[in-house]
Structure 1
Amino acid sequence: MADTKFEGWLGKDKDSVEGKMEWGQFDPKKWTEDDVDIEISHCGICGSDLHMLSSGWGPTPYPCVVGHEIIGKAVKVGKNVKHVKQGDRVGVGAQARSCLQKDCPDCSHGIENHCHRETINTYGSVYPKDEGKSYGGYATHNRTNGHFVFNIPEGLDSAAAAPMLCGGITVYSPLKRNGCGPGKTVGIVGVGGLGHFGVLFAKALGADKVVGISRKADKRDDVLKLGADQYISTDEDKDWAKHNAQSLDLIVCTVSSAKMPLQGYLNLLKTHGTFIQVGAPDGGELPPINAFTLLSGGLKVGGSGIGAPWEIQEMLQFAADKGVKPWIQTRSMKDANEAVVDMKDGKARYRYVLEN
């Protein structure tokens, strides 16, 4: 097993996002007995992949294999990993390691996704101490620290489970942490790969009313079919912010644009309502917020990034128990370049999943 050949779609420069990734061999991080090697069967395509291929969030350490919604079979398991055994069906999300120290204020409290000492992403990160680089899931194999490798519940289809590992948890965590459930009205801004999960999970968590909010009216039918009770098109519904003022307890915003109508979104919140940003724009820039809007409404504005390992395992079981089924289209791994271009052009409805 030591001779496993790791091959994948290598992004070699900014142009790789234009469908110019090249298939080739790569060296995974140095093996330790804390790691798991996975033979990949499925990998979702996430918006983060495009940002990384194009160096949108800062300089990418090329060559880079993207993909952090990985499902496959554990083919080599380190001696220190107790919850996974060889042959298990497992998954990896957007995080590959944190410091995991007992004195870490984040890791010791089960919020490893916010670790400020060491966060290694599943791709595009350089490990300390000459351990190598992290490479993602548009590939034959992946090597990740066992703490961030998850068992996939029996009731979940592999292709459906893959996009939950980043797209799903990115909305499940803030919904759950901010009280989404019976008695609450919830808005999901931006109904794409992330947002469609927002609608599915908000309904499954039992929210009284779920409202999909997007620019164009052409997604209205889809969003209502996903289970939303209402749809707001900010481009086409006249005076939408006024007509729906003070109607929502919680908004999760998946949009990543410095031009989004943030003031309008905040107007939709009830007094003491909460707005959580999960979309990550290039450069990190958001529209300005009027202080008086916050003061007069007693509003809370926050952010959320992916989720902790225990939350991901909880979400997977919840999805299996509740029959949560994302809208996915499977594509062959060999067609990854075409799929990335289609994703970039906004054609996904609502998540592409690559299959080996």
Structure 2
Amino acid sequence: MSYPEKFQGIAVQDHNDWTHPKKISYEPKKFDDYDVDVEIEACGICGSDTHCASGNWGPKSLPLVVGHEVIGRVVRVGPKCHTGVKVGDRVGVGAQVSSCLDCDRCNSDFEPYCAEFITTYSQPYPDGYVSQGGYASHIRAHEHFVIPIPEKIPTHLAAPLLCGGITVFSPLINNDCGPNKKVGIVGIGGIGHMGLIFAKALGAEVYAISRSSAKKEDAMKLGADHFIATKEEPDWEKKYASTLDLVIVCASSLTEINLEQLIKTMRIKGRIISICVPKETEELNLKPFQLSGITIGNSQLGSRKELIQLLQLVADKDLKIWVETLPISEESVHDAFVRMEKGDVRYRFTLTDFDKEFRN
């Protein structure tokens, strides 16, 4: 398993023309003692990719290779690596590639909240190198963020778990999702559909919450016990008043959610946890008295420990998320970006056939 000094990737060249990425070659970051190089076989397409590519989260250093749901084979291991990863292993890299690994947060398995967090693409390392993502031939990351993939999980289904999956799984397990709990999932899309699957697998009574009933049939197949169409059911918040223990908001925007209504469905000590990351200009306004008796918070990604736990759950219970595959190319990434903007995906994309694009 050899590779060239330069990596190749499908990169966004211009935020104003972000749906037309181009293939480039680029220098990888300096290889450090704890780094691992992965030859990529597949990469999921996340909503974060379109936000960064389009400039919704502010201008980024370009050209930029996005993608942080990476599955591949290890081709190089740093001399000080000690996690047990070895050349030839099938592994995954999610939305984080580095942290200090020495602060209280890191030592408590909350690496995504470390002050020295480095995301998989678009963020500078201390030496100024801007991280590049997984629509590429290879990726280089600190060993802590290189995760073994259970043999039982197919590659194209494993990829979306590395960001979308762990992003919804982390707040579920950190907020007591399980038997005898009533859990709502708001937004039945790429992440929300996984939330339904995982909440059900954890033993909760699951409520799918969407604006219309268009996805009701899908939601029930995915594991929902109940379906709430907020734009079609008058006074839905009264019908479900004081019902839910936990709600995970997976919608693309918090301001599009009627939080005043949603709050009324919560039991005392209930929690509403948002995982959405909208445009950087969006602001949320709440009246303090609306929050009486409940908690509203935010969750970010998930730790190595949580990701391993999720992968084991998926393997043990043979959980199947809904994924459409596309062979990676400039054209395929363009098509996927356009379709994602239209909401034309049920419910995740995974790019495949990396060997044909990068290793011919």
* Cross-structure match for 2:229: 233
**Aligned residue identity for 1:93:** G
User: Using the alignment, how far apart are the partners of 1:97 and 1:289 within structure 2?
Assistant: 34
User: Using the alignment, how far apart are the partners of 1:46 and 1:317 within structure 2?
Assistant: 22
* Cross-structure match for 2:110: 111
1:199 aligned to which of 196, 199, 207: 196
**Secondary structure in structure 1 of the residue aligned to 2:285:** coil
> RMSD value over aligned CA atoms?
1.3
User: Using the alignment, how far apart are the partners of 2:31 and 2:181 within structure 1?
Assistant: 47
Residues 217-261 of structure 1: CA deviation (Å, up to 9, x unaligned): 110100011010111111222221121111110000011322321
**Secondary structure in structure 2 of the residue aligned to 1:182:** coil
Deviation at 1:26, TM superposition (A): 1.2
User: Using the alignment, how far apart are the partners of 2:243 and 2:283 within structure 1?
Assistant: 23
Map 1:273-312; keep pairs closer than 5 Å: 273-283=270-280, 285-295=282-292, 298-312=293-307
* Preserved contact between residue 262 and residue 287 of structure 1 (Cα < 8 Å): no
**Secondary structure in structure 2 of the residue aligned to 1:272:** strand
Residues 5-29 of structure 1: CA deviation (Å, up to 9, x unaligned): 4111111121343x21111111111
Deviation at 1:175, TM superposition (A): 0.4
User: Using the alignment, how far apart are the partners of 1:288 and 1:57 within structure 2?
Assistant: 20
**Secondary structure in structure 2 of the residue aligned to 1:217:** coil
> How much identity, in percent, do the aligned residues show?
45
* Cross-structure match for 1:220: 216
Deviation at 1:277, TM superposition (A): 0.8
* Cross-structure match for 2:358: none
* Preserved contact between residue 6 and residue 28 of structure 2 (Cα < 8 Å): no
* Preserved contact between residue 35 and residue 144 of structure 1 (Cα < 8 Å): yes
Residues 307-335 of structure 1: CA deviation (Å, up to 9, x unaligned): 01111111111111111110000011011
**Aligned residue identity for 1:342:** R
1:270 aligned to which of 267, 282, 307: 267
* Preserved contact between residue 40 and residue 71 of structure 1 (Cα < 8 Å): yes
**Aligned residue identity for 1:80:** K
* Cross-structure match for 2:179: 182
Deviation at 1:286, TM superposition (A): 4.7
Deviation at 1:155, TM superposition (A): 1.2
**Aligned residue identity for 2:210:** S
Report the number of matched residues: 348
Map 1:343-354; keep pairs closer than 5 Å: 343-354=340-351
* Cross-structure match for 1:317: 312
In structure 2, the CA distance between the partners of 1:47 and 1:206, relative to structure 1 (3 Å rule), is: same
User: Using the alignment, how far apart are the partners of 2:313 and 2:17 within structure 1?
Assistant: 36
* Preserved contact between residue 16 and residue 53 of structure 1 (Cα < 8 Å): no
- Mean alpha-carbon deviation: is it higher for 48-57 or for 252-261? 252-261
Residues 51-93 of structure 1: CA deviation (Å, up to 9, x unaligned): 1011211221111100000000011111122321000000000
User: Using the alignment, how far apart are the partners of 1:68 and 1:349 within structure 2?
Assistant: 19
Residues 157-210 of structure 1: CA deviation (Å, up to 9, x unaligned): 111110000011011110001000001000000010110111000000011x10
The answer to whether structure 1 residue 100 and structure 2 residue 101 are counterparts is: yes
- Mean alpha-carbon deviation: is it higher for 229-238 or for 170-179? 229-238
**Secondary structure in structure 1 of the residue aligned to 2:104:** coil
* Preserved contact between residue 213 and residue 233 of structure 1 (Cα < 8 Å): yes
* Preserved contact between residue 260 and residue 287 of structure 1 (Cα < 8 Å): no
2:206 aligned to which of 191, 207, 210: 210
Deviation at 1:105, TM superposition (A): 2.1
Deviation at 1:50, TM superposition (A): 0.6
**Secondary structure in structure 2 of the residue aligned to 1:222:** helix
**Secondary structure in structure 2 of the residue aligned to 1:193:** coil
User: Using the alignment, how far apart are the partners of 2:335 and 2:307 within structure 1?
Assistant: 29
TM-score, normalised to structure 1, is 0.95
* Preserved contact between residue 323 and residue 348 of structure 2 (Cα < 8 Å): yes
* Preserved contact between residue 65 and residue 137 of structure 1 (Cα < 8 Å): yes
* Cross-structure match for 2:60: 60
2:248 aligned to which of 231, 252, 265: 252
Residues 271-306 of structure 1: CA deviation (Å, up to 9, x unaligned): 1111101111112635422322222xx101111000
* Preserved contact between residue 5 and residue 27 of structure 2 (Cα < 8 Å): no
User: Using the alignment, how far apart are the partners of 2:328 and 2:344 within structure 1?
Assistant: 18
Deviation at 1:4, TM superposition (A): 4.4
Deviation at 1:2, TM superposition (A): 6.3
* Preserved contact between residue 15 and residue 59 of structure 2 (Cα < 8 Å): no
Map 1:65-104; keep pairs closer than 5 Å: 65-82=65-82, 83-101=84-102, 104=103
5+ residue gaps, structure 2? 355-360
User: Using the alignment, how far apart are the partners of 1:58 and 1:288 within structure 2?
Assistant: 22
User: Using the alignment, how far apart are the partners of 1:7 and 1:199 within structure 2?
Assistant: 36
The answer to whether structure 1 residue 173 and structure 2 residue 170 are counterparts is: yes
